[in-house]
Every structure is written in C-alpha cells, then in structure tokens.
Amino acid sequence: MSLRIIDPGLFSTIQDLGRVGYQRIGVPPSGALDTLSLRMGNALLGQAQGMAGLEMCRVGVRLVVECARLRFCITGADGTATLDGQPLAPWRSHTARAGQELHIGRIRGGAAYLCVQGGFALAPVLGSLSTYTRAGLGGFEGRRLDGGDLLPLALAEAPAGPERLLPHPVPAERSRPLRVLLGPHAEMFTEAAIRTLLSEAYQVTHNADRLGIRLQGTPLEHAGAKEIVSDGNNTGCMQVPGDGQPILLMPDRQTAGGYPKIATVITADLHRLGQVLPGSQLRFEAVAPEQAEMVAWQLERTIAASIGSIQDLA
C-alpha cells in the first residue's frame, strides 16, 4: 500500500490547502503553491478538494505502484507523464496496477500535482498534512521526497469504476496582470513608486521558491523609513527591502517581517503565483477591496461550473 519513489524529481512534497491558525506561534501555513490545481485534481477523483496531494516543481517523480489498484490524476502545469512508457493525459483519471511505473518528467510551468484516490496514509501535524521543510513539519517525515521512500497510501485497492475527465479546467490567465490591493504600507512609498509598480513589468529572478519570489525591475522608492516594526505577513504580500526590489511572499514565508509591504495579491489570484517561472514577467493591477471580494466570488462560481462539467468515460 505505497508508492515506491525511484526518482523524487527536483522538489516534491506532500501539500494540502495549508495549516491554518498557527502564525501566532511562528508556523506559516505552507500548503499548495497552486491551490486551484490541487482542488480540481481531488474533485476529479470524487473526494474532498482539500485532500493532500504530491506537489512537484519543475521536474516530477518516477515511482512504482505497490498496491493492487491505484486511481490517480495529474493536474497543474503541463508536463510529460507516462505509465509503463505509455503517455498519460492530464485533467483525467487513470488506473495503475501493482508493479507499474509512473514517470512524470519535465514540468513546463511552476507546480504540478499528483492526486490519488483515498489520499495518503500520513498523520496530520497541527491539523494539516502540508510539508514545511524548514521546520521538519508535516508531510512525509517533514521533508521533500527522496529516492527509496515508500509513500503510504490510504487505499490498498481503489474502487472499481469508470475513469473521469475534466473537459473544462479553469483558465490559467497567465497573461493577465496580477490584481493587488495597495498596502498595508502604501503610504511608506512615493507616488512615483506606486505608479511604477502599476505600469512596469517586473522579472521573476532565479531566487524564487516556496518562501518567496524575488522580482527585479525599476526600484520602488520609499518615502522615508525603509523598515518597520515587524508585523504579520500573509501569502501574496509584496515586501520591499531597502534596495527597492520587491519580494512576493509565498506559503512557507516567515510569519512576520520588518520590511514595508506596498501591495498584496488578492485571494483569487494567489494560485497563479504557483505557476510563475524564473525569467517570466509579471505586471500588477490595483483593485478596490469590494472588487477583490467580487472576483473571489466569481472564481468560486467558475470552479463549481468546471467541477460540474466532469464526466465519466465509457
């Protein structure tokens, strides 16, 4: 009842929708970089959207199935996947038998997800299976996967039934500017800095991981002090250190920090941060809080419609 890892890929970890309620003691939420893709994968398998999946970044895993029957799907960034050398399509379920080899190769995007029916037989830590590697919390032994690991499965044999297809995944909208709320420290930046942020493109540097994404572009000028008394951080906040180059905070970020935050990516666009790559260009668009709430509601309606389109295959 396990998946035997032969090649773990570049950085593969178990992630769910995050560890909520522990920032006050210094524990970040962690969780999937692209929560939308994880949710859709679980919905495709007919299970709770928040169940933990295997998150793979840039390069996927190679593993051997060690259970009677495994039903799984692959969602998120495009990539190449094979089962015993036969190509697999994304956004649909597949079934593997004991001894078969699943190989997910190069991922042409940020994060991809392997969701399995029934999930993984792992114990939650602080209410979540999400892996926070810096503290060794959650997931599989609190770390990224390694060759030789036996990743335990909750089901020895997936129930018989037809495969399922998601014909209409939610569009990725990669070319659209990321929508932000200005603040909470926008007043600590010059008007020119705000105009620059909302009019120029910023390049994603190679210093980008689950903690944060460092951007490079025209420096954002502080109006005065370049540091603050440390206060709380959220995923999607844009910190600006003294050099004026912004940093987008990701799920494993510190829970508090002393750099002023010029803007915050709205909830409905956070999943898009999980698909950015070094060298790509990001643009930002300011919206009002009321608009951010409306967009979040619209996204949930789109997700519901997409899940409603799931169909059984003959």
pLDDT tens by residue, the chain, 314 residues: 999 999 999 999 999 999 999 999 999 999 999 999 999 999 999 999 999 999 999 999 999 999 999 999 999 998 899 999 999 999 999 999 999 999 999 998 899 999 999 999 999 999 999 999 999 999 999 999 999 999 999 999 999 999 999 999 998 787 899 999 999 999 999 999 999 999 999 999 999 999 999 999 999 999 999 999 999 999 999 999 999 999 999 999 999 999 999 999 999 999 999 999 999 999 999 999 999 999 999 999 999 999 999 999 97
Contact 262, 228 (CB under 8 A): no
Query: For residues 163 and 185, what is the distance between their CA atoms, to the nearest angstrom?
Result: 50
Provide the phi-psi class of 244: left if phi over 0, else alpha when psi is between -120 and 50, else beta.
left
The SS3 call for residue 261 is strand
Question: 178-304 has which CATH code?
Answer: 2.40.100.10
Amino acid at 180: V
Confidence (pLDDT) at 88: 96
Q: Per residue in 89-101, is it b (16+ CB within 10 Å) or e — as a string?
A: ebbbbbbbeeeee
**Structure tokens of 203?**
């390049």
The DSSP-derived string for 169-200 is: PPP--TTSPEEEEE-SSGGGB-HHHHHHHHHS
Q: Domain coordinates of the chain in residue numbers?
A: 2-165, 178-304
Please give the backbone phi and psi of residue 79, each rounded to the nearest 5 degrees, phi first.
-165, -175
